[in-house]
Chains A and B, each alone.
Chain A
Amino acid sequence: MTTNAQPDVAGWEYSPALESTKVTIEQKNKLFIGGKFVTPKSRSWFATTNPSTGKKLADIACAGKADVNAAVASAKAALPKWSRLPATERAKYLYAIARRIQERAREFAILETMDGGKPIKESRDVDIPLAAQHFFYYAGWADKLEYAFPGAKPSPIGVCAQIIPWNFPLLMAAWKIAPALACGNTSILKPAETTSLTALRLAEIFQEVGLPDGVANIVTGAGDTGRILAEHKSVNKVAFTGSTQVGKLLMRETAGTGKKLTLELGGKSANIIFADAAIDQAVEGIVSGIYFNQGHVCCAGSRLFVEESILDEVVHKLKHRLSSLRVGDPLDKNTDLGAINSKSQLDIVKGYIATGVKEGAQLHETTNQRLPSRGYWCNPCFFTDVQPSHTIAREEIFGPVLCVMTFRTPEEAISRANNSPYGLAAGVWTDKGSKIFEVAKKLDAGIIWCNTYNKFDAASPFGGFKESGYGREGGLQGLRPYVQLDTALGRKN
């Protein structure tokens, strides 16, 4: 059964507020290897589309084996000089990159939104500023690494293969490249197939700031390109953000090779609301927790646990809030939810919604009549009457779909929240300080947002427990995956 909330509760419409700055996109986007944009030896190209229109934006080079070999060779050749560069000089390149991203922020934000479908207000206010912050933050670590690892001598690992997803394209590129370079490694980044444009524009910045050739390379392509890169013998380190399934595959394939591996994988994060929480704030937290970036967020608060006594109030407020969310043109500054990133992802999300209904959960969604006729769209929705065994309560949907469940005691909330192979993030909402800390301590998750959700910062480590992966990105702990430690202090006893 479907219940529909009414749109436009305020009774009046917003006028469109379209971002009008034009961004030029090259027709053929080449690979970035050894400091130059080069035509792929594979002679193969693929189209990248705007998911809000379904129209092709440009052609992207599809890197084959020879291209990957060239990129790895250039990263390997650049390594000795880059790793021995005075650390403050390394830092200055990264600072310069951060500054250039800030200067070209508008261009990056528009490009990100056109290529990926996320609302301009998110790419403008979250993705791009955070990407700049990551370079700025890690720039400062480059000459302070000995202080990060007391009692150990850190040294670079070497050539890093870095494979990123499509949900935060430039931000993920920054998360990967900034700490790797700060620690003296060189990098080959493989962006996601559907979102290569901002990474390639980042390569322009590398050229502009004079980053030494080969220190950071970008090879575009699909899964095959990523696999060839990860398997390359001269790669010393693989850093992957994406699905748990591919993460496990990488673990098996790198077994016994001595390659270092860090994985930032899927999630099914719990958002727990106690009766003593500030309910209005909590409802805002639920909304930003699940509908941010159309739910294309590995740490999305996709399982909502509400204390039984306040279920009706929370559901009522959630329906009201849902009805005021604006779905539509991502380039409109008033848009809350943009387009689903691709046709295939839309099919996956729709499939989960159908499964939820079929398995007996009750669907609540808005009917937004203004959805564009072209492109890939999904109205934000939530399910009640969800059982823990339901598919939608167990599997990562990666879309704007929330499961609402209830609990009676803190112990029950904790045990149900922890009952998942994932352990990426969790939210806790209560006004009781002691309860916050007790619950936060007992939740098996790498990030605990207390009375807030989906907050990110370059200084704050991000990464999960259990099958959500290992290693951290961001903060001091985000350096660890990019250094080798010699713990011999020369003090024999």
Chain B
Amino acid sequence: MKIVHKVMLGNIINIIFIALIYIVAFQFLEFMLAKLQFVEIADDLNASFLGMRLSEKNYFLYGDPSFLKEIEVELDDSIASISSVQENIIRAVGESKYEELRQSVEEYKEAIQKAEESNASDVNMQKTVRESGRQLREFSAKIVSLERKKVNDILSHSKKVLFYFFCVIILVAMAATYLFFSKFLSSLKSIERTATCISQGDFCKVEGDNTGDELGSVMAAINSMSEELDSRYEQIVQSRKLASLGILTAGVAHELGNPLNNIALVAQSYIELADHLSKEETVGYMKTIEEETERIEKIVQDLLDFSKPKKANVKEMEINRVVEKSLKLVRNMLHVSGIEVRSDLQEKLPLVYIDENRIQEVLINLVINAIQVLSPGGLVTIRTYLEEKGDYVVIEVRDTGPGILPEHLPHIFVPFFSTKGVRGTGLGLSVSYGIIKNHNGRMRVESKVNVGTTFFIELPVYR
């Protein structure tokens, strides 16, 4: 179900609840109103019954039949009012009680009519009239007090009902929220985890099932982005290598310039001196040409090794040999940029199990980074040593550059983070970090503004 539908459903349920409360309250108020109306009517009736009984007493006392007439008039009024509010009374006390009331009134009326026909001092008549009068009065008084009590009971009961209703609504709301949104929240968490992973260079996927809602499409989008990044990562690494290659080219041009010049000089000298050269000298010239050609070939090979996509070629190596080889590749660049490089390589370090080319790539990348931030006269120091516990061989690359701002430090291994602007892809260090991580190694940095930056590469000792 989509989130928008869930929200709509939630709202509909709320509206149904409110309507339900409204209907119940309306019914309840209607019911209470009927009860109160009845109590009012019954009070009126009670009062007129009391009046009738008073006239009845006066008749028996004075024997004046006008009192009986008065009773009759009042009785007719009462009967009229009882039947006019018949519905109200039935609703309040039920049909049977209404009938009982009507019957009592009729009986009283009958008794009064009989009294008119007989003598005022007829004891039997007196008794019948008194009896039915008393019954009528008692009955009406009884139902009035009964109804009053009922109204009070209902009112005090409704307080509790209100409270329970409130509790039920709260519980239902909580349960509904949990049911609707627990999956939503867990999906959000999962997305958050994935985003963190990706920012650390691990192109993982969002865990959990596709929920089919808007979050589901967000998750699918993130997954396809992660896949895309993963597949392009290699391409990016390649292009970054080409970029480093561009920087290396300046150094290489110089490196190639010397042997080419040497060959040219030998050839020119031979042309000039051909007639005067001994066979030995001629062979010497040719040997020189051969050596210089080999020198060029070596440089070209080194370049190819660096730029070619390489298959993993892991073997046990002496780290110092790798450091020396890397330095050889960037030596000219350092020279041309006027940057001094010092190496302090500890002898007899234990072997490390590494892909030489990849580690070389990391070292060259670090040195190129240093060259880019150093001004002529700057210093790059490379040290190798065994970590205190003896589990890792450490390579330290230190420069005397401007340092990295503290706020940038936590991000420098993050892909695409760059302080070089258009000059950098922001991938160099993240690629290096990935390479070292693949070797089960560790890479970290320490930096002080205006003092310099030191990178530490720690590779596990081969056992």
The answer to whether A and B interact is: no
